[in-house]
Amino acid sequence: MDAGQLLGMEGIYLVIFELVTRLIGYFLTSVGLWGVLKKTGGRPMLAFVPVVRHYQIAVAAKKEEDGRNYCIFITGAYLSQLLGTLLKDGSWFDQILNIITLSIGIAGIVYAVRIYFGLFRLFQRSKWWILPWLLLECVTALIWGFGKSFQPIQEDTEDPEQAARISGSSVAKIQNGLTMNLNERTAKEFFKKKVLLRDIHLSIPSGHMVLLLGGSGAGKTTFLNAVTGYEKADAEPLLNGNDIYKSYESMKYSIGFVPQQDLMRGSDSVLMTLRDAAKLRLPKGMKRKEREARIQEVLDIFGLQSVKHNLLNKLSGGQRKRVSIALELISDPDLFILDEPDSGLDGVIARSLFQKLREIANEGKIVIVITHTPDRVMDLFDDVIVLAKDADRTGRLAFYGSIAEAKDFFEKDNMEEILLSINQKDEGGEGRADEYVERYSEFAAKRAG
């Protein structure tokens, strides 16, 4: 064997030695983090999963947001490094990629330091421990994971804030209207289940116009998506006795949804836009004459006859909003949902729009509206649904009933005051959401019974 072959073999042995050393180091670090997660009540087996294990440490150390950012930046650094390895050619692009990889990696280290500082607070240890954690993570993790003197402090659990209890009840099904019995709406968020909505049970008779009220993050849009079947939940939504989830394809045009921002083409005329909607939403077998009659009827309802040949981008804000509502009304839905239809409109135009919605409800439809200025049109609504975040930051039903009942229940004079009473204290509210959720559960039971 010549000298060249010997040097080649030596290089292979060095690579193998380095690989084995890294694997042993990774395994021992994982074992140490397994012990840390077991002490802090985390999920120990995830200590063996790259990147994810630091997110678990972050959750235990009350640094979840930093843990998310760490996952994003470190994953980005790995991908960038991999791309750089595949494209390594010494070009200017390769140099830029190296700079990007370095920058992302540094950002990841910053968030790792923030996570470790949270861990130090939990274990009541000096911040000087950051050096051994960064330089000798393997040994340090084993010391913290299995050292008897390294124990997390017990959080003060005296009189903790408790989320409102689950009612465990449901409402009776109605044949003419909407019945919604929702147990839970959950989502996966960074390796764990998050409950977005819980324990919402109500029925809305046909012909009612309903306000959906709730602070930011209370789950208003999530609730409406669950009702319409756009995002299914552990729930049973019934519209006129028919299950929306089970019969979604045949019922989707029985539900009209008008988002805050319309998606209409500004270069189309009003009439062209309505004709396109009619072709899509009305029965395929409907004769052209009947379809045109329905279009003219909708134009009349919203006072759009005089502008039907105008382009959408030439309309006023109020006229354009009427067109977006008319698109959904073309199929004559039984349930009509609108997300802030008065956004950007002045008081007079907004009230005129809500009066049109009131007329639609009077024809036996259900109209549910989200608006941030409810008090100026409160006389047009029949009922109000109040959603609030409980102590677990989960959307709950704090009230459903008539406007008069709501004012008596919350002992407030208007909807803005009701909203302030259920908002969390860190949002400038009174922080009484859980109190009202429990009170409503009792109120609903008495009313049913």
Residue 404 lies in a domain: yes
Same domain for 225 and 128, yes or no, is no
Q: Do residues 133 and 190 share a domain?
A: no
Do residues 406 and 432 touch, judged by C-beta distance below 8 A? no
Q: Is residue 171 in some structural domain?
A: no
What total of structural domains would you count in the chain? 2
- pTM for the model stands at 0.73
Low-confidence ranges of the chain (pLDDT < 50): 7, 156-160
Domain carrying residue 89: 3-146
Helix ranges (DSSP H) in 168-301: 220-228, 248-251, 270-281, 288-301
Cβ neighbours around 172 below 10 Å, total: 9
Residues 118 and 205 in one domain: no
Residue 417 exposed, middle or buried by CB count within 10 Å (0-12, 13-18, 19+): middle
Check the CA dihedral 399-402-408-411 and report its sign.
Answer: positive
> Is 198 in the same domain as 293?
yes
- Position 158 in a domain: no
- Let me know whether 275 and 421 are in one domain: yes
Residue 367 sits in the same domain as residue 442: yes
Indicate the residue type of 214. Answer: G
Q: Give yes or no for a contact between 143 and 202, defined as CB atoms under 8 angstroms apart.
A: no
Here the tokens at position 42 are: 């985390």
Q: Is residue 156 part of a domain?
A: no
Residue 153 lies in a domain: no
Do 323 and 411 lie in one domain? The reply is yes
pLDDT given for residue 328 in this prediction? 86
Q: Is residue 83, in this structure, part of any structural domain at all?
A: yes
The predicted pLDDT at position 159 comes to 46
- CB-CB neighbours of 164 under 10 Å: 24
Half-sphere exposure of 444 (CA within 13 A, CB side): 23
Query: Do 102 and 27 share a domain, yes or no?
Result: yes
Q: Identify whether residues 93 and 198 lie together within a single domain.
A: no
CA distance 269 to 263: 14
Residue pair 124/153 in contact by the 8 Å Cβ criterion:
yes
Q: Do residues 437 and 388 make contact, with C-beta atoms less than 8 angstroms apart?
A: yes
What is d(CA 341, CA 230) in angstroms, rounded to the nearest whole number?
20
Same domain, 132 and 243: no
Are 184 and 255 part of one and the same domain?
yes
CA 145 to chain centre: 35
Four-point Cα dihedral 341, 344, 346, 349, nearest 10: -40
Classify residue 161: in a domain, yes or no.
no
CA–CA dist 375, 412 (Å, integer):
12
Rounded Cα–Cα distance for residues 137 and 130 (Å): 10
The pLDDT of residue 349: 83
43-76: burial string, b at 16+ Cβ within 10 Å, e else: bbebbeeeebbbbbbbbbbebbebbbbbbbbbeb
Q: Residue 131 domain-assigned?
A: yes
Which CATH number goes with the domain that contains 275? 3.40.50.300
Task: Identify whether residues 132 and 216 lie together within a single domain.
Answer: no
